[in-house]
Structure 1
Amino acid sequence: MRVLTLSVLACVLVTLLGAEGFHGNDIYNCQPGYSLASNNVPHCYKLIQEKMGWTDALNYCQKEGGTLAAAHSINEYQLLLSMVKKTQDISAYAWVGLNDLDEEGKYVWTDGSNADFSWADGAIEQQYGEEDCVALNSYKGAEGFDDIKCNDGCTFICMTMAKMPRMEEDTSTPLI
């Protein structure tokens, strides 16, 4: 009887969670002020509307337990772009965690992974040695990543990993 009860309980859990399993918005949690990216991307994002240089922005995000945002998929890129567009009246540029500070022309994310992205129109005409940090440009017609001077003041997007809440044992109703 206990095996049957556990089997029924497992079936109910699978049905309630749906095909997405533990990747749904009801499962992942973000710290206050951050928003979950999507069911498929377990990252939390927060647009900071205060303008500062890239290094200060990175330090700010790290103090909150994260880093500057990265876009490793088209879904993440589109999410970041939509966030920047919502505050375009403040700034059309927002820092992301992409730079070529270590090696000119070799762009990497702050998590150490290589970049694979599309530049904004005109961004390829780089001022080598002077534009080492990357911001997401939300100007219509020039949307994309753009390398600019690291000390320019921009808004920025912090990213943290989403957390799964701890499942607490319910002792109020014993299993039969």
Structure 2
Amino acid sequence: GWLFFSVSANHHLSKDGIRLSVCFVALFVHRTVGSIRSCPPGWTQFGSRCFSFNFQGKSWTDAENFCKSDGGNLASVHSEEEQLFLRDFIKKVTGEAKWAWIGGFDSVQEGVWMWSDGSIFDYKSWAPGQPDNADGIEHCLHMNFQDKWNDTPCSRLLPFLCSKNL
């Protein structure tokens, strides 16, 4: 929601016998967040973002487009805490450590990983020996490969994790 309020003050100035009245009006707009905002039904909050797991197998691109149509992106991961939350979240909703797309890709430039939501790729949780770009065609990132990340062909059909900001 939005909270609007205004502050006004009258100042009476006198210069050379002329009384000047100046009115200052300020409008402050403060966007309220936190306690009154929550994730939509079917989404789970962690930190300042909402996450959803989608069981339907899609290519990385189709999964990203699905997330965008729902107001988000494939999930980006920025800390060990987020990584563990997402791993546990997948286990909770599927009963296993299912492979799932998240938003990492290096299809623009090999070896330069980016997140589809545009955030900085500031955390990594690659499995040993990954990413390896096997056969030169692995440009998209999935999680839960030996409990970590792996690069794999973007055309592979996998379930996926979407995220969006609160």
- TM exceeds 0.5? yes
User: Which of 47-56 and 76-85 deviates more?
Assistant: 76-85
Deviation at 1:88, TM superposition (A): 5.2
Counterpart of 2:55?
Answer: 49
Query: Does structure 1 conserve the Cα–Cα contact (< 8 Å) formed by 2:132 and 2:151?
Result: no
Whether 1:100 and 2:109 are equivalent positions in the alignment is no
Query: Does structure 2 conserve the Cα–Cα contact (< 8 Å) formed by 1:68 and 1:157?
Result: yes
Q: Which runs of structure 2 are paired with 1:122-141 in the superposition (5 Å)? A: 122-127=129-134, 129-137=136-144
Relative to total residues, which structure has the larger helix share, 1 or 2?
1
Relative to total residues, which structure has the larger strand share, 1 or 2?
2
SS, match of residue 27 in structure 1: coil
Out of 143, 149, 156, which is 2:160 matched to? Answer: 156
Deviation at 1:131, TM superposition (A): 0.4
For 1:54 and 1:101, locate their aligned partners in 2 and report how far apart those are by CA, in whole Å: 11
Deviation at 1:75, TM superposition (A): 1.5
Whether 1:84 and 2:90 are equivalent positions in the alignment is yes
Counterpart of 1:6?
Answer: none
Query: Does structure 2 conserve the Cα–Cα contact (< 8 Å) formed by 1:107 and 1:115?
Result: no
Percent of counterpart pairs with the same letter? 33
* 1:123–1:85 CA distance, 2 compared to 1 (3 A): farther
Counterpart of 1:62?
Answer: 68
Out of 7, 31, 42, which is 2:40 matched to? Answer: 31
Instruction: List alignment gaps of at least 5 residues for structure 2.
Output: 1-32
Deviation at 1:126, TM superposition (A): 2.8
For 1:115 and 1:28, locate their aligned partners in 2 and report how far apart those are by CA, in whole Å: 27
For 2:161 and 2:77, locate their aligned partners in 1 and report how far apart those are by CA, in whole Å: 11
Instruction: Give TM-score, length-normalised by structure 2.
Output: 0.73
For 2:79 and 2:37, locate their aligned partners in 1 and report how far apart those are by CA, in whole Å: 19
The structure having more radius of gyration, on CA atoms, is 2
Deviation at 1:128, TM superposition (A): 5.7
Deviation at 1:83, TM superposition (A): 1.8
Query: Does structure 1 conserve the Cα–Cα contact (< 8 Å) formed by 2:74 and 2:161?
Result: yes
Whether 1:116 and 2:120 are equivalent positions in the alignment is no
For 2:59 and 2:80, locate their aligned partners in 1 and report how far apart those are by CA, in whole Å: 26
For 1:88 and 1:132, locate their aligned partners in 2 and report how far apart those are by CA, in whole Å: 28
For 1:46 and 1:155, locate their aligned partners in 2 and report how far apart those are by CA, in whole Å: 11
